[in-house]
Structure 1
Amino acid sequence: MYCRPFGLSIGALLVSLLVSFIIVMVDKNQTSNLDVRLIIRPDEPVKKIKTNHPIDLVLYDNELASDIDRLKQSVESVKSGYQLQKQDISLENIPQEPVKKYGYVALGGTFDRLHNGHKILLTQAALRSSKHVTVGVTDVNMIKSKKLWELIEPVEKRIKAVKDFLTDINPDLEYIVLPIQDLYGPTKDDPRFEMIVVSEETRRGADKINEKRQQSGLPLLDTYVIGLAADNRQTNEEEEKVSSTCTLHVKHYISSYCSRAKGAAIVNCDFIAHDLYKPGLPLNHTLAETFGKNIIQENGENKLQQLNDLLWPAVIEEAQRRAQALGREGYRVVVMEAAVMVRAKWYTQCHQLWSVIIPPEEAIKRLQQRNGLTEEEARQRIESQPSNLEQIELANIVFSPYWSYEFTQIQIDRAWQHLEELLDRRK
């Protein structure tokens, strides 16, 4: 058996497990974030172990010196440049905590972008199971109440991440990872379940499941509650919930910030469109010929697509001309701004698409305030635009406006670093 718990110190892990072999993965960019794997040497011959995540660093105890080659060869998924180091690890003074085992264990959650809290929950479930673990992953209908729920990964991707993690920490158990449509999933009426793993914040959910089981005459589930320690590296801007989603965030000032602090030039397509309308320019004459002098009448919206078909090619052509001119002036990055970037498919002319999204209801309120529209008028306008989901599917990086200026700058720095790495690779 081998385990890969996260977010705990080695000492804390030794309380639960007798360790004979330790594998540690180190994030080269954040060496303080250790991914610890603990392998228990079985009595029978060591099986071949292929993890879903390649291993960077292997540590082993002095007492295992005679077996290290055999154990090392059993792990197939090490990186080509991994390191092997001997460490003094003593278990004599570590109290052994007995772990009660259950045949059928359950837990549930969103499991979006598996973080340390999720991994602790999953690991504790695997440690307490002797046969089977079922994991319920919240489906779309259960996450739509969250702000910017569109940023949460598709349920299929979340299910795969959970399965991969569980098979990494113990491939000998049976796993069922399935989407759930409500709080209960299969736990409310399956008599085989014996225990459920929850965090402190979701303990009430376990109580409700037991209420359902009691009504059906089923045995109540034992509940194992995990108290999660606060992350000292977490900023005040981040959610403390286990189910929190980690995303990049930004306010409307991203472009001015990029231009001022990052040395990028800006081409604003909305300004270009207004410029091209000016009297005497070819586009102005074309529009007048096409729509007549009453182009800005109430019925003008009936020919909106025809107008766009004339305007959008002219705008992107001028934007490209300006971007190329800025490149010749020495700018390494040109930021192209456009409200219709996705609708007009101008993103196909760019190397990356950075999108700023807000919840539709918030967008409706802002449009009402800015343009003096009724709620219904604003809603129709928002619904005619690409949805947040459509933008997220196309975007390289997604931002949203719910964080402080300072935290936003940190996130922009991260995104900009990725962009610079991309540019360096293109040299």
Structure 2
Amino acid sequence: MFLVGLSGGIASGKSSVVQVFRDLGCAVIEVDAIAHEVVKPGYPAYHHIVQAFGHEILLENGEINHQALGSIIFHYSEKLKLLNAITHPEIHKEMLKQGIMKYLVQRYRYVIWDITLLFETKAMLRFLKHTVVVYCDPQTQLSRLMQRNGLSREEAEERIAARLPFEEKRQLAWHILDNSGEWEVTRPQTLHLHSQLEDSLDFLPLRLRLFTTFVGLIYLFSQHLLF
């Protein structure tokens, strides 16, 4: 089994691409959903965030107000680094618990990590065999974002500027899915990528390491019985 990081810019159509992989029966771990889960009351990250950012970011029910927290980290980059330092270790733990071991046992060829800020944080790139970016041209992105979120041109441009430019993501990614045009063009690209990943032999090294470890344990056990 190997890991594939899937990302994209805001309003690029990443969610639609992820749904295609799900429909194909692929294993998908939504890292963004896990990131929201680990900051709920009762999780270690929750207490650290409250200590770092204050009770002003809490809703009346005690949960974190993501809009208030997002406003802080949007305007202060050092606050974003602090939040990442708190949450990333907990996210990694939950990813292992919720999916990776399960999919390994079920012998999936690959697992997709759906990560919005994959290339911005770079924290998880070292775990990945392949990286994918869902791309669309800047004008299409701006138009989609304005229409989808009801934003003015200035507001949309500000949100896009807060993320890593698409061109930089294109340089970092192994695979590019161009969603600038009609969905009828994007979907076949996604199906083709799935075929490439399924045919890849990148899953073999991990299976060989596991097999070698298993054989080694059997040998040690047999030696112990003999002596």
TM-score (norm 1): 0.38
Instruction: Provide Cα deviations, 1:328-384, integer angstroms capped at 9, x if missing partner.
Output: 233222111011011121233211001001223332333334444443232222112
1:300 aligns with 2:77: no
The residue aligned with 1:411 is: 189
1:420 aligns with 2:189: no
Question: 1:360–1:313: structure 2 CA closer, same or farther, 3 Å change rule?
Answer: farther
CA distance in 1, matches of 2:181, 2:82: 39
CA distance in 1, matches of 2:145, 2:176: 21
The residue aligned with 2:23 is: 260
The residue aligned with 2:92 is: 316
Instruction: Provide Cα deviations, 1:12-47, integer angstroms capped at 9, x if missing partner.
Output: xxxxxxxxxxxxxxxxxxxxxxxxxxxxxxxxxxxx
Q: Which has the higher contact order (CA 8 A, sep 6+)?
A: 2
The answer to whether the 8 Å contact 1:368/1:378 transfers is: yes
Structure with the larger helix share? 2
3-state SS of the aligned residue for 2:80?
helix
State the AA in 2 paired with 1:270: D
CA distance in 1, matches of 2:194, 2:69: 44
3-state SS of the aligned residue for 1:399?
strand
CA RMSD of aligned residues (A): 2.8
The answer to whether the 8 Å contact 1:251/1:402 transfers is: no
CA distance in 2, matches of 1:363, 1:395: 19
What are the residue-to-residue correspondences of 1:226-265 with 2, within 5 Å?
A: 252-261=15-24, 263-265=25-27
The residue aligned with 1:343 is: 120
The answer to whether the 8 Å contact 1:251/1:405 transfers is: no
Query: What percent identity do the matched residue pairs reach?
Result: 28
The answer to whether the 8 Å contact 1:251/1:403 transfers is: no
State the AA in 2 paired with 1:379: E
The residue aligned with 1:284 is: 46
CA distance in 2, matches of 1:319, 1:336: 9
What are the residue-to-residue correspondences of 1:141-220 with 2, within 5 Å?
A: none
CA distance in 1, matches of 2:178, 2:87: 29
CA distance in 2, matches of 1:275, 1:252: 19
> Which one has the largest radius of gyration?
1
Question: 1:389–1:347: structure 2 CA closer, same or farther, 3 Å change rule?
Answer: same
3-state SS of the aligned residue for 1:367?
helix
Question: 1:378–1:275: structure 2 CA closer, same or farther, 3 Å change rule?
Answer: same
Q: Which runs of 5+ in 1 are unaligned?
A: 1-249
CA distance in 2, matches of 1:297, 1:318: 22
Cα deviation for residue 251 of structure 1 reads 6.7
Cα deviation for residue 288 of structure 1 reads 0.6
The answer to whether the 8 Å contact 1:269/1:337 transfers is: yes
Question: 1:266–1:390: structure 2 CA closer, same or farther, 3 Å change rule?
Answer: same
The answer to whether the 8 Å contact 2:39/2:46 transfers is: yes
Structure with the larger strand share? 1
Instruction: Provide Cα deviations, 1:302-327, integer angstroms capped at 9, x if missing partner.
Output: 32332223223332342244223322
